[in-house]
Amino acid sequence: MYSITPFIKRSLLIESIALRETLQDYVSRDLLEGLLEHCEEAID
């Protein structure tokens, strides 16, 4: 059986965070920042 692991590109997260900031969508921005932190921890 295969494990399904979502792959999130770091650059896409950064773009999405910037867009949410521009749109003043701070709730989504905060969620995306949490994903980015998790992504960066996985890289280390």
Compute CA distances 36 → 23, 39, 40, whole Å.
19, 5, 6
Q: Give the CA dihedral 15, 38, 9, 32, nearest 10 degrees.
A: -30
Could you tell me the two tokens for 3? 């494990």
Inter-residue contact 12 to 28 (CB < 8 Å): no
Structure confidence at residue 6 (pLDDT): 55
Question: pLDDT by residue (tens digit) across 9-33?
Answer: 888 999 999 999 999 999 999 999 9
- In the structure, what pLDDT confidence band is assigned to residue 7 with cuts at 50, 70 and 90? low
Structure confidence at residue 40 (pLDDT): 79
Structure confidence at residue 1 (pLDDT): 43
